[in-house]
Amino acid sequence: MCTALTLKSKDGFHFFGRNMDLEYSFNQSVILVPRKYQWENVISKKILPIKYAILGMGVIINDHPLLADGLNEKGLACAGLNFPHYCYHSPEPYPDKINIGPYDFILWILSNFETVEEVKAAVSQVNLVNIPFAPDVALSTLHWIVYDKQDQCIVIEQTKEKFCVFENKIGVLTNPPTFDWHIDNLKQYIHLSSKWVEGTTWYKQELNPDSCGLGLVGIPGDFYPPARFVRVAYLKSHATHLDNEMTTLAEFYHILNNVAMPGGAVIKPKSKEEFTLYTSCMALEKGVYYYSTYNNLQLNAIAFEKEDLDQEQLKSFEYLDSLSINNQN
């Protein structure tokens, strides 16, 4: 499971990222997809160009980048989150559609478009097809969140009933159920408050709070997708340390850390434990991909401006997963 977040600083910087919650490592690393790289659409067999360079976390198989999340050089960002039981893929290609495997949907979006508005105009042409990337690579069940520097955000879901593009004014996404269900579910929590609760008297007994935080009694604290959605939506809507780029970057991690899974907290069938493998945060204006890992809480940064975006070959960066400590004496 996973949680995605968007956040904007008061001086106009936009951030996007996610917790990747899994029970295993998938040999992930940050990948640079340069402008002159060409990729093969597994469904159509067509060789396609890259219009905009991409930085994203993923894995390279047969010189093909399979991205879990990323941003392009124009400041458009996208992430795929697990959407089991609801996700649907068409059984075959449609002749009048752009047929894409779900594993290439992020690559298609980020390599072609600058803004969410452009994605919305084009995505109705897409058919996500139930054909795996390779026989030994399982087909992911995903829905997607897309965000840009204009603070526009959408969620894309394909279920058996319909293909949906939702406006996402909350700027948060987790997992099942569908996005519109999560928005309706928030109505149960509109009473929550971060402010000090005043005391009262019942008959002759004075009742006074012992400490702050009483206004948050009832906020769900588990790791189920609806609970994570509510907590992150609440924390984002009440975030205060957003004065500038760096304070907002720190606030981004504080919010997602609130729903990060420590080892042993969530045990799946066959005793597999789910944990937060990494947390990404992308600075859309600066073109920087930040990430921390389960074992390395230090932020690692990879920037477009330090790379040759016109090369032809994919480039991957070492995944830094060993604890790094800043020794001050």
Cα torsion through 87, 67, 47, 100, rounded to 10: 10
| Residue 232 · residue 3 · CB < 8 Å | yes
The closest of 191, 96, 208, 76 to 144, measured between CA atoms, is 76
Query: Given the structure tokens 């928005």, which residue do they identify?
Result: 183
Query: Amino acid letter at 62?
Result: N
Beta strands 126-128; 98-100: pairing state: parallel
252: its two tokens: 């981004």
The closest of 145, 177, 172 to 230, measured between CA atoms, is 172
Measured at the CA of 140, the angle between CA 75 and CA 268, to 5 degrees, comes to 115
Question: Alpha helices of 69-156 — where are they, by DSSP H?
Answer: 105-112, 116-123
2 is catalytic: yes
Q: How far is CA 121 from the centre of its chain?
A: 22
Catalytic residue among 2, 78, 153, 281: 2
Query: Amino acid letter at 142?
Result: L
- Catalytic positions are 2
